[in-house]
Structure 1
Amino acid sequence: MKISIIIATFNAELRLSRCLDSIISQKTEEIELLIIDGGSVDGTLKLIDSYKDFIDFVLTEKDNGIYDAWNKGIRQAKGEWIMFLGADDQLMPGALGKYLQFICSMEGEICDYISARINYCNADGRLIKVIGKAWKWNEFKDKMTVAHVASLHNRSLFNQVGLFDTSYRICADYELLMRKRDKLAATFFSEIVASMESGGVSFSTAAIKETCRICNYHNENSFLKRCYLFMRKHTEFYFFILKMQLRKLLHFNLYAGL
């Protein structure tokens, strides 16, 4: 088994089918699909059951958030490489085949982590921007620069550094990749492999605070550096919000004039 895809779900009836459809249309014997459900009470479990012929493992029980669910999935996964998706994320057509070819081309190389690029879209599916670039420690130590959605983690990475720290509720994926510091063997796959919808808790001031907490812990930043990072991240966040509002207003006025 080459790639294990782990999806954490909780009351995801309205959005999960698009995610699953994007996977099963390109699933092969080299791809394993696991769903870890947090005890959904809507129609999620019924929906999952309708895809049972394509899903290799399902667990449904209460959990302590998405990272707890992903940890449960890691323990069950059989793949050499592990991918994490949200219930509302979607793989691009052909993404898994391209990943498999890329992995084969790396045979013999030591690699902990493969990141790619993703489309960041609004609720209507319109592209906002493309996210993701090559991992570089000097940039990564201060902020999340790679696209974690649909990236690949070598199983050996978890053997070395452990599982996700569930004390982090939003950015535990960033914290896990910080543990090897500049020794992380990361590779960049310059393809758009997935799309994710804007919004959610990962795009919030709470996420900024947690990122700063992670940076300060792993880098032992001085007080001045902590203040600088905090102010810079908030400035970037609010500037992006303003830019999105201006784009939305411009789009509305454009169509209102037709």
Structure 2
Amino acid sequence: MSDKPAFVSVITVAYNEVATIEKTILSVVRQNYSPIEYIIIDGGSTDGTVDIIRKYESHITYWISEKDEGIYDAMNKGLKYASGDWVIFMNSGDWFYDETIIEKVFSDKYSSAVGIIYGAVEFRFGNEKIIQWPYSLSHILKGMAFSHQSAFVRTSLLKQSPYNVHFRIVADYEFFLREYRLGVSFLYVPEVVASFDKLTGISATPSYMNYKKHLKELIELEKIYNTETNYELFYYFLCFRFLLKNAILKIIPSKIWYRILRRRIKLNK
């Protein structure tokens, strides 16, 4: 183990996220940790996102705005410019839980055998909040055991084995599942790493059509990795999304549905 502090690369991917990008940027540039570099990959936004990026240009190591082939293509593009020991993706609409979190995570020195460090995230549903602590790591055979926003990955590991862009929705899960099957060492840290709003930003709840694509990709992963997807939870989210689009919301306020969702998340730990 080196005595030098770990060099951390933070990458943000954005596309037409003018309403959320500034909060994400501020959460990165206000970190009290050093050394750190910040990379932003924008997909050619036309809504003012680029103007906000330029506003903080002096705090950004590298940024580019050009068309890409989707979120995971953009994330892989960001990796090409990353020179840190560790990398974390804090995409537009996501933000670090507080200004000290990177310092807290890397206050310890980690063995070179550790490939992935992960913690908890805070989900927000408007004004509603819930801390989602990771499932046991073995849960990864049924679904994501933790959120990618809470994961620091060895940069060399991700560069050697980047996101598979064939998967348009679950490439992050496929990466972690792949590394788990290969025997990469995961380390849990009891910290809340990031927050994101389930109603806005890149990590917001997907559309009905995306659920269908999501299901298709999960079935494909089952065949490749012999996993057993938690379809009960998957269909719960599907039904929840469907109900939000229907007249029942005129009778039952959305806040109540968000509370039901929060309870469901807790029950599925």
**Normalising TM by the smaller chain, what interval?**
0.7 to 0.9
For 2:78 and 2:231, locate their aligned partners in 1 and report how far apart those are by CA, in whole Å. Answer: 36
Pairing of 1:200-219 with structure 2 (within 5 A): 200-202=204-206, 205-206=211-212, 207-219=214-226
Cα deviation for residue 106 of structure 1 reads 3.6
Question: Which residue identity does 1:88 align to in structure 2?
Answer: G
For 1:156 and 1:73, locate their aligned partners in 2 and report how far apart those are by CA, in whole Å. Answer: 13
Corresponding residue number in structure 2 for 1:125:
127
Q: CA RMSD in A?
A: 2.8
Cα deviation for residue 55 of structure 1 reads 0.6
Corresponding residue number in structure 2 for 1:153:
153
Corresponding residue number in structure 1 for 2:3:
none
Residues 99-125 of structure 1, C-alpha deviation per residue, up to 9 Å, x if partnerless?
Answer: 221xxx243351111111011001x23
Cα deviation for residue 234 of structure 1 reads 3.5
Corresponding residue number in structure 1 for 2:20:
15
Q: Does residue 172 of structure 1 match 2:174? A: no
For 2:224 and 2:257, locate their aligned partners in 1 and report how far apart those are by CA, in whole Å. Answer: 41
Question: Which residue identity does 2:47 align to in structure 1?
Answer: D
For 2:101 and 2:94, locate their aligned partners in 1 and report how far apart those are by CA, in whole Å. Answer: 13
Q: For residues 29 and 249 of structure 1, do their structure 2 counterparts lie closer, same or farther at Cα, with a shift above 3 Å needed?
A: closer
Corresponding residue number in structure 2 for 1:136:
137
Corresponding residue number in structure 2 for 1:98:
104
Cα deviation for residue 175 of structure 1 reads 0.5
For 1:195 and 1:77, locate their aligned partners in 2 and report how far apart those are by CA, in whole Å. Answer: 23
Matched length: 238
Identical columns (%)? 25
Question: Which residue identity does 1:21 align to in structure 2?
Answer: L
Give the structure-2-normalised TM-score.
0.78
Contact 1:84–1:149 (8 Å) recurs in 2: yes
Question: Which residue identity does 1:213 align to in structure 2?
Answer: E
For 2:10 and 2:101, locate their aligned partners in 1 and report how far apart those are by CA, in whole Å. Answer: 13
Pairing of 1:241-256 with structure 2 (within 5 A): 248-249=255-256
Contact 1:112–1:156 (8 Å) recurs in 2: no
Pairing of 1:204-243 with structure 2 (within 5 A): 205-206=211-212, 207-219=214-226, 229=229, 231-238=231-238
**Paired residue secondary structure (2:76):** helix
Contact 1:141–1:181 (8 Å) recurs in 2: no
**Paired residue secondary structure (1:187):** strand
Cα deviation for residue 190 of structure 1 reads 1.0
Q: Does residue 68 of structure 1 match 2:73? A: yes
Residues 162-191 of structure 1, C-alpha deviation per residue, up to 9 Å, x if partnerless?
Answer: 211111111100001122334121011111
Cα deviation for residue 42 of structure 1 reads 1.5
Q: For residues 36 and 238 of structure 1, do their structure 2 counterparts lie closer, same or farther at Cα, with a shift above 3 Å needed?
A: closer
Contact 2:105–2:191 (8 Å) recurs in 1: no
Give the structure-1-normalised TM-score.
0.81
Corresponding residue number in structure 2 for 1:59:
64
Contact 2:121–2:131 (8 Å) recurs in 1: yes
Corresponding residue number in structure 2 for 1:256:
none
Q: For residues 233 and 209 of structure 1, do their structure 2 counterparts lie closer, same or farther at Cα, with a shift above 3 Å needed?
A: farther
Cα deviation for residue 72 of structure 1 reads 0.7
Q: Does residue 26 of structure 1 match 2:31? A: yes
Cα deviation for residue 150 of structure 1 reads 3.5
Q: For residues 63 and 41 of structure 1, do their structure 2 counterparts lie closer, same or farther at Cα, with a shift above 3 Å needed?
A: same
Corresponding residue number in structure 1 for 2:113:
110
Unaligned runs of 5+ in 2: 1-5, 244-248, 260-269
Contact 2:120–2:134 (8 Å) recurs in 1: yes
Cα deviation for residue 48 of structure 1 reads 0.5
Cα deviation for residue 85 of structure 1 reads 1.4
